[in-house]
Amino acid sequence: MRRIDQLSRALGAIAPAGVSIAAGTIDIDDSRFLHADERRAFDGANAARLAAGGAVRALARELLEVHGVAAPVIGRTPFGAPVWPKGMVGSLAHDETTAVAAIARADRIALLGIDAEPAEPLPEEVWDLVLDPRDRWRDALFKAPDRIAFCAKEAVYKAVHPVIGRVLDYDDIRVDLPSLAALTASGHRLSLRIHESTEIVVIAFAEADVSGR
């Protein structure tokens, strides 16, 4: 795993305050970054999947170190959600070549999800599955707004699922790209941050309630 400086800088520029975020390459020998306990959670995975899991964990560990937090093992729940050290929240994503990780302290950020997608239009045959007339995405000033809406729903899912413990369908998540906002059927409101270049990356987050109520 090598940091991708340009994408990491671009993501850092859109990241909400308190969120550390970075992108890195996935190299075929990156499975070496998986600790034995992590590797057990990837039982049956092929070499490419192990490499992606290793690369994204190496990246996340670097980000955690900046927060002064050691994380020898970033495990997975039975649903596949990453398990973070106490007091931290985070999210991971990877495609064939690129890994992205986002980390924050739980006393600043309550919900955090990230997803990465190739910057290509979503095949029209999946529009009905993913998009709903109540989603606002067509009027957004993006080259592939349909793909961004899909990416946003996946980022929202990753942020909310570990908290509610139940699977959300695409239809359970409303996205409003012009307002950079999302709302889930579970009642969670999230803000969105969107990066679009050759790669689409969406960060979904909700700040922690610091009012003390």
Ligand X SMILES: CC(C)(COP(=O)(O)OP(=O)(O)OC[C@H]1O[C@@H](n2cnc3c(N)ncnc32)[C@H](O)[C@@H]1OP(=O)(O)O)[C@@H](O)C(=O)NCCC(=O)NCCS
Q: Cβ 142 to ligand X, closest distance in Å?
A: 19
Tokens of 137: 């995405």
Question: Using the rule CB under 6 A, is 154 a contact of ligand X?
Answer: yes
Question: Do 21 and 66 contact (CB within 8 A), yes or no?
Answer: no
Can you tell me which residue has the tokens 């409003």?
Answer: 176
Question: Using the rule CB under 6 A, is 56 a contact of ligand X?
Answer: yes
The strand pair at 173-176 and 19-25 is best described as: unpaired
Binding to ligand X, residues 92-121 (CB under 6 A): 92-94, 115
**Segment contacting ligand X by CB under 6 A, of 131-139, 149-157, 176-184, 203-211:** 149-157
Question: Using the rule CB under 6 A, is 82 a contact of ligand X?
Answer: yes
Return the SS3 of 159: helix
Question: Using the rule CB under 6 A, is 151 a contact of ligand X?
Answer: no
Residue 138 Cα distances to 31, 133, 142, 173, angstroms: 39, 10, 9, 16
Give CA–CA dist 166/138, Å, rounded. Answer: 29
Candidate residues 15, 19, 31, 53; the one interacting with ligand X per rule CB under 6 A: 53
Residue span 184-213 as binding mask against ligand X, x where in contact by CB under 6 A, dash where not? ------------------------------
Q: Cβ 94 to ligand X, closest distance in Å?
A: 4
Of 96 and 213, which CB lies nearer to ligand X in the complex structure? 96
Return the SS3 of 7: helix
